[in-house]
Structures are given as C-alpha cells and as structure tokens.
Amino acid sequence: MFAVYAESFSSDEPLTGLVVGERPDPTVPDGWTTVTVKAAALNHHDLWSLRGVGLKGEALPMILGCDAAGIDEAGNEVVVHAVISDPSWTGDETLDPRRSLLSERHQGTFADRVAVPRANVVPKPASLSFEEAACLPTAWLTAYRMLFVQGDLKAGDTVLVQGAGGGVATALITLARAGGLRVLATSRDEGKRAKALELGAHEVYESGARLPLKVDAVMETVGRATWTHSVRALRPGGSIVVSGTTSGPKLDDAELTRIFFLQLRVTGSTMGTRGELASLVNLLDATGVRPLIDRTLPMEEAADGFAAMAAGELFGKVVLTR
Ligand SMILES: NC(=O)c1ccc[n+]([C@@H]2O[C@H](COP(=O)([O-])OP(=O)(O)OC[C@H]3O[C@@H](n4cnc5c(N)ncnc54)[C@H](OP(=O)(O)O)[C@@H]3O)[C@@H](O)[C@H]2O)c1
C-alpha cells in the first residue's frame, strides 16, 4: 500500500530519511481493526522520529503519523486514538509505562490503512470533516488535557500560551478561549502574533516580553527558549503545564528558587485518554470550534509539509489527505 515512512535518522537533516513509497499492508492482531485513512495530520513528533528521537533503529522502516480520521471495517466514520496501551492495562492509558504512540512501535497513519486496537477508534460526528477530525488525536488532545485535566483551569482563569504558531499552541489558544479563559500568547514572529489575536488570544507579546500581569498558568511546549519567561510570568501558587521542548530540554536556569519561593507547580502532560478524545470531539461538535489548518496537502506531497514544519513556518496544522 501507499505509505510515507522513515527509512533512516538524521538529527541535522531529518528529511533525508523520509520516503514516499510503498509498504506492506498492515498486520492485524486479535482485537485490532483496520481504518482506511482519509486524512492524517502532521505533528512535531513525526519530525522528532526522523531525527531519531523516540524511535529505535530496529523499528525502521516505520510508517510515520500519529493522527488519522477515516473509515472503519464496518463503514463508520472514525477518529483514531494514537495512544496504544498494553492489553493488560486498565485506567488512564497515558500512565501505562508500556504505552506507545502510533509510529513508535506500531506502524503509523501516513498510509492507505492503519491497524489499531478496536478500542482506539472514536466515532466522528458528521459535523467535523475528515481533515478537521484528523487534527484532534495528538495536538488537540494534548492541548485539551494540558488545560482542563493537568492544568485544572476554569472559566475566568488567565493562561499564557508560549510559541503561538504551533499545532499544540493554536489548539491551546482556541480551546482556552472556548473554555472561557483570558488568553495571552507569545510568538517570535509579528505575523504569527497578529494571527493569534484573530484566533482568539486576548493579548499577544513578543517571546520573552515583560507581561503587564501575572497569570494563573502557562502552557509550555517550547522548552529552553521560553522556560525562564514562563516561570516569571506566574502569580504565586501558579502552575506551568509542560508537554514539549521544541527548542531543547536543557535549561540555562531551572529557576528553582523562584519555583519554591512562590510555591509554583510544574506539571507534565502527555497526550490524553480515549475518554478525553471523545470529550474533545463532543466539545467541537457542540460549540462549532474547529482546528486551525495551515495547509492541506495530498499525502504524496508530505515532504513539503515536513519542510515547512522544520522551518517553523506554520500557523496551525498540516493535514495530509488520501
Ligand atoms: N507530550 C505530548 O504528548 C506532546 C504532544 C504533542 C506535541 N508535543 C510536543 O510539543 C511541541 C510542539 O509540537 P507541535 O506539533 O505543536 O509543533 P510545531 O507545530 O512545530 O510548533 C512548534 C512551536 O514552537 C515554537 N518555537 C519553536 N522554537 C522556538 C524558539 N526557539 N523560541 C520560541 N518559540 C519557539 C514556535 O512558535 P512561534 O513560531 O510562534 O514562536 C512553533 O510554532 C513539540 O516539541 C512536540 O514534540 C508533545
């Protein structure tokens, strides 16, 4: 079948290991099903995979892609949940130490078909297009859990979103606004700051700029480049929810003194549960809120989407269609 896959790793030139070609049809273990992919979305995770982060050499060649929306074996329109937990695991699957994401141990979604455990499909409402639904399983689910589960934020709270242009960041701005929060956002780029305002941010600032107020929580996916600013932006007792380190995980200063003196909390967040994905789908269906799509490309042109993401040119999601 047609597939977009990683053949090798390069930390400096990740696109050299990307192949648009053919791979065998998926093998379908007991209790699993196949989904015919109509749309899939690109995540920074796919770029990390090509850099050799989170993917082992012995797993190559590996079909990339965590996100998909498509049609299941019974003809239903579905969204694929990307977190694969051990069959014996019960409870929150993001806490399963043996969990993986599609495209880490099991073949990913940038293909004609993807195999997933039967429990990993969620009904897609007719109100969402396949392209919109394909944005939800990774970036949007991560944003949902960061804000409303790990961040425990409520209507009326004030939140700062760092690095406004990213897939997770645009989801954070949109969902925070839909949840009744006051939303501040930063970006390195003036054009992206203007777009963040259009998307629903109340106020935007250059990365690192002094803010006129302290916030209840910061949503962090950038890491090293924004960490100090994130810690300094918080009111006493506030919290940082961190789910990524795009600019690198090695901090110049972890700001530990400020963290203990102001009694700040730092909380990790990774993906979300199947139940949270179903709630996110319901939220979009009920509110009319939709993922911001930067561009839609036929899957054959996936390399162009990867290149735009590597260059940091995006504002919103890249969707690949079949
Ligand atoms: N833990 C999880 O479950 C999970 C799930 C999804 C994503 N993630 C992680 O979260 C991160 C974002 O993912 P994504 O798919 O949203 O990636 P993306 O679409 O490529 O977005 C990255 C954003 O980071 C900001 N950024 C990058 N370098 C920066 C720098 N030096 N200074 C300031 N801002 C910088 C940029 O914002 P501006 O250009 O606007 O400044 C950019 O828009 C990745 O590291 C990814 O691995 C984790």
Query: What pLDDT is attached to residue 176?
Result: 98
Structure token pair of residue 301: 């042109």
Which H helix or E strand runs over 21? strand 18-22
87 vs 79: CA distance, rounded Å: 20
Residue nearest to atom 32 of ligand 1 (CA): 225
256 touches 138 (CB < 8 A) = no
Residue nearest to atom 42 of ligand 1 (CA): 166
Question: Which of 44, 50, 309 has most ligand 1 atoms within 8 Å of CB, for mutation?
Answer: 44
Quote the mean pLDDT of the chain.
97
* N residues, the chain: 322
Query: What pLDDT is attached to residue 267?
Result: 98
Q: What is the pLDDT of residues 288-305, one digit of tens each?
A: 999 999 999 999 999 999
Q: What is the pLDDT of residues 146-193, one digit of tens each?
A: 999 999 999 999 999 999 999 999 999 999 999 999 999 999 999 999
Query: What pLDDT is attached to residue 81?
Result: 98
Query: What pLDDT is attached to residue 250?
Result: 96
Query: What pLDDT is attached to residue 264?
Result: 98
Measure 130 CA to ligand 1 centroid, in angstroms: 24
Cα 169-170-171 angle, rounded to 5 deg: 90
Judge if the upstream peptide bond of residue 236 is cis by omega within 30 degrees of 0.
Answer: no
288 vs 17: CA distance, rounded Å: 39
174 touches 200 (CB < 8 A) = yes
Q: Which residue blocks in 82-184 are alpha helix, DSSP H?
A: 130-134, 141-145, 167-178
State what percent of residues in the chain have pLDDT above 90: 99
Burial of 290 (0-12, 13-18, 19+ CB in 10 A): middle
Atom of ligand 1 nearest to the CA of 309: 20
Query: What pLDDT is attached to residue 233?
Result: 98
Measure 26 CA to ligand 1 centroid, in angstroms: 30
Question: pLDDT category, 10, cuts 50, 70, 90?
Answer: very high
- Find tokens 């956002």 and name the residue: 185
This prediction has a pTM of 0.97
248 touches 221 (CB < 8 A) = no
Mean local confidence (pLDDT), 63-79: 98
Burial of 317 (0-12, 13-18, 19+ CB in 10 A): buried
64 vs 12: CA distance, rounded Å: 18
Query: What pLDDT is attached to residue 13?
Result: 96
Residues contacting ligand 1 via CB (< 6 Å): 43-45, 48, 138-139, 142, 163-169, 187-189, 192, 207, 221-222, 225-226, 243-247, 270-271, 309, 312, 314
Mean local confidence (pLDDT), 185-213: 97
Amino acid at 49: S
Query: What pLDDT is attached to residue 71?
Result: 98
Atom of ligand 1 nearest to the CA of 171: 16
Question: Which of 104, 184, 190, 222 has most ligand 1 atoms within 8 Å of CB, for mutation?
Answer: 222
218 vs 275: CA distance, rounded Å: 24
Question: Which of 168, 172, 229, 251 has most ligand 1 atoms within 8 Å of CB, for mutation?
Answer: 168
Mean local confidence (pLDDT), 89-116: 97
Measure 32 CA to ligand 1 centroid, in angstroms: 32
Q: What is the pLDDT of residues 20-46, one digit of tens each?
A: 999 999 999 999 999 999 999 999 999
101 vs 68: CA distance, rounded Å: 12
